[in-house]
Structure 1
Amino acid sequence: MIMTRRVFGALACATGMALSSAGAFAQANLTAETSSAGNSPHLSITHMADVLSEEGIASLQVQEGQTLTNSIINVAEGKTDVAALPLILRFLLEKGRGPFSKQGENGAKLAANLRALYPYNAGAFGLIAHESSNITKWEDIKGKTVFNGPPRGAALVNARQAIQMAAGFKDGEDYKGYQANWGQLANILVDGSADAFVVPLTFPSERVIIALSAGNVNIVSTPKHIFEGEAFGKLLKAPGNIPIVVKAEDMGYGEGQGVTLISEDGIFRGMGTAFADIVHKDMSTELAKAITAAYIKHIDDLKAKAPYARNIGVGNLDPDASGFCGPLSMKYHPGAVAAWEEAGYTVPDCAK
């Protein structure tokens, strides 16, 4: 699906300190790619489209429901201006691994073209299952059919890792992995074709809310002793992974809503998926700065657009929380750095 946000006329006068130094340039016509509706990558990109329209900075044509593995190649090759990026894909592209194995050494050249504007996350991997399935712990998925993401990409890699760490199970050996595109997930959540789901969950999660239409839902946290163990700690430091810890009372589900958190201490723990919205390195500093400054100016509006938006790390540039630095060589666009710093934020030196 393609959505277009258009604004006509000259570039509006920038409002506020963050936008005042963006410089004068003709209004841009930009293209963007993002995932299906109902998650933070979609929310972030469509919010950007609205903001850029409101500020008179750009018209943004958004293609929804895209496979982000392909989207970032399009940005790297200059075919698309903006895309949502799971940070693990940047690492895999640079190394020519996983879904980018056919790129070989060309992967590093493509990865070098990508720059981030701002970070956020797509929630944390948790196990969800209908109460009627009698799945109350990770080991209960043995021999079951488990939806674990699209046929290729970062989500499938991470879901398999989360399951192996929590239960020691491998896809195809201990359980039957069920893969389908994100656009099909809403139906799968309610049609009984999967016994359980290991997917990124925001707080609250639209995926859980959809599943509730077919019965009460259990959300199973990663066991505390595993989450705090050495092996899981190493996993959390891998490119694109971040720790997410949320108290039950902050997850967004009230009493009697049919959602049960299964955890030793009323706290959800899971491996989070770090994201950023990215552009090509050759985007002008002025335009990248104006886009980022507009985004910063409207952070509170973003948090008001969806109940889960306050829990996805918007505006948190800390390396541990955002997934930047360490083994990940991803950098912010110089224009984005300027916008964040002018707004009073600290951008880690390792991400500049």
Structure 2
Amino acid sequence: MFKKALGKTILAASIGLSAMSAQAVDISMEAATAQSVVGLMPQTMASYLSKADVNVQLAMGQTLTKSLLKIANGSLDSSVIPPGAYLALKAGKGPYAKMGAEKGAEMASSVRALYGFPGSTYHAITWADNGINEWKDAAGKRVYIGPPAGAANAQITSLAAAGGLEKDTYEGIKAPWGAAAQAFQDGQFDVYVGSFPVGSQVVAELSLKRPIRILGIPEGTLPKKGLGMEPANIPAGTYPDQANTSDSSSFLTLMFMGVNASMSDDLAYTMTKVYMETREQMGKDNRLLNHLSKYSPFVGVTAPLHPGAIKYFEENGFTVPADLK
């Protein structure tokens, strides 16, 4: 009698635990503009995560340097993180200079990465008839360099310098990503450097309103180390009314999905698994994401990997770089 009762108790407990493990988990996540890969990928992945019982509450159009602080203090579950932003936090430099190296390093110690991925390509756009045919022609002009306190500031000024336009020779304009396209059309700056997938509908529509030119940098130019970028190419004729007769070299951003170190191993494992096993399908769902599966999942990762992510990679035959463990 006792054995039967005990058996029923154990069975009931097992069923209860199974039911608990099957319950959906709600997580918060932040990303950049919806028009960029940094926004498109999290949006697309959210639908796949929901099938794995992970419900994503996604906030778009965020300044990712601020999102990183939320990850570090535990007020946000996950976010797309620029590699350079993490390094700046760890050193207490750049947008985190006021907190200093000791506090920055302390906060960075609570950040973990799940995987890295390629972001969007910087498009340095001008109106084709404004006399700016190459970067050096923008001397003395107004150049949009991203949102205030964003990691994009250093990336865009580096891109301009690679094209021959030094930082102190133009007026750098900062404004939120979401307001930049309209501000450019309203004449608030002369060069609009936006982060878009190559073939973006946003840029295509812009070119239909008025012919555009995309400023390029010398072919083969490598980005500065630590800024989280790789060389990229924007073919001539990509957009309907694009004045370029030859391809434009530029830089592509790299990102990683960041979480707090306190995230459970199971959740980190699941989030990594869903990305890795659906990234090829995401590219089929949206051609602007078809480059995701071509890149190593460790590209752009500057924070240590979460143990749950490491478990997934090792179980699936990936060699995890020693410096990311």
Q: CA deviation at 1:123?
A: 2.4
For the residue of structure 2 that corresponds to 1:298, the secondary structure is helix
Q: Residue in 2 aligned with 1:20?
A: none
Does structure 1 residue 49 correspond to structure 2 residue 46? yes
Does structure 1 residue 66 correspond to structure 2 residue 56? no
Structure 2 Cα separation of the partners of residues 179 and 102 of structure 1: 20
Structure 2 Cα separation of the partners of residues 112 and 94 of structure 1: 8
Q: CA deviation at 1:118?
A: 1.7
Say which is worse superposed, 297-306 or 286-295, in terms of deviation. Answer: 297-306
Q: Residue in 1 aligned with 2:235?
A: 248
Q: Residue in 2 aligned with 1:309?
A: 289
The match for 2:268 among 257, 270, 288 is 288
The match for 2:207 among 199, 207, 212 is 212
For the residue of structure 2 that corresponds to 1:270, the secondary structure is strand
5 Å-filtered alignment, 1:120-269, equals 120-170=117-167, 173-224=168-219, 227-228=220-221, 233=222, 235-236=223-224, 238-246=225-233, 248=235, 253=238, 257-261=240-244, 263=246, 266=247, 268-269=248-249
Q: Residue in 1 aligned with 2:311?
A: 338
For the residue of structure 2 that corresponds to 1:245, the secondary structure is strand
Q: CA deviation at 1:203?
A: 1.1
5 Å-filtered alignment, 1:101-112, equals 101-104=97-100, 105-112=102-109
Whether the aligned pair in 1 keeps the contact of 2:280 and 2:293 (CA below 8 Å) is no
Q: CA deviation at 1:116?
A: 1.2
Q: Normalization by structure 1: what TM-score? A: 0.79
Deviation sequence 1:293-349 (CA, Å, 0-9, x none): 1122211232134332123x4462276xx234xxx4x12212112223434444333
Whether the aligned pair in 1 keeps the contact of 2:163 and 2:216 (CA below 8 Å) is no
Structure 1 pair 11–243 and aligned structure 2 pair: CA distance change class (3 A): farther
Structure 1 pair 97–340 and aligned structure 2 pair: CA distance change class (3 A): same
Does structure 1 residue 272 correspond to structure 2 residue 252? yes
Structure 2 Cα separation of the partners of residues 72 and 25 of structure 1: 30
Q: Which amino acid aligns with 1:123?
A: S
Answer with 1 or 2: which has the greater Rg.
2
Q: Which amino acid aligns with 1:299?
A: R
Q: CA deviation at 1:108?
A: 0.6
Structure 1 pair 349–286 and aligned structure 2 pair: CA distance change class (3 A): same
Whether the aligned pair in 1 keeps the contact of 2:90 and 2:105 (CA below 8 Å) is yes
Q: CA RMSD in A?
A: 2.7
Q: Residue in 2 aligned with 1:93?
A: 89
Q: Which amino acid aligns with 1:276?
A: F
Q: Residue in 1 aligned with 2:300?
A: 323
For the residue of structure 1 that corresponds to 2:262, the secondary structure is coil
Q: CA deviation at 1:12?
A: 10
Structure 1 Cα separation of the partners of residues 32 and 300 of structure 2: 20
Structure 1 Cα separation of the partners of residues 297 and 33 of structure 2: 27
Whether the aligned pair in 1 keeps the contact of 2:92 and 2:104 (CA below 8 Å) is yes
Structure 1 pair 120–294 and aligned structure 2 pair: CA distance change class (3 A): same
Deviation sequence 1:70-96 (CA, Å, 0-9, x none): 111111111110111011100000000
Structure 1 Cα separation of the partners of residues 75 and 161 of structure 2: 37
Structure 1 Cα separation of the partners of residues 40 and 266 of structure 2: 24
Q: Which amino acid aligns with 2:232?
A: V
Q: Which amino acid aligns with 1:339?
A: Y
For the residue of structure 1 that corresponds to 2:185, the secondary structure is helix
Identity %: 27
Whether the aligned pair in 2 keeps the contact of 1:218 and 1:262 (CA below 8 Å) is no
For the residue of structure 2 that corresponds to 1:128, the secondary structure is strand
Say which is worse superposed, 189-198 or 106-115, in terms of deviation. Answer: 189-198
Q: Normalization by structure 2: what TM-score? A: 0.85
The match for 1:115 among 112, 115, 124 is 112
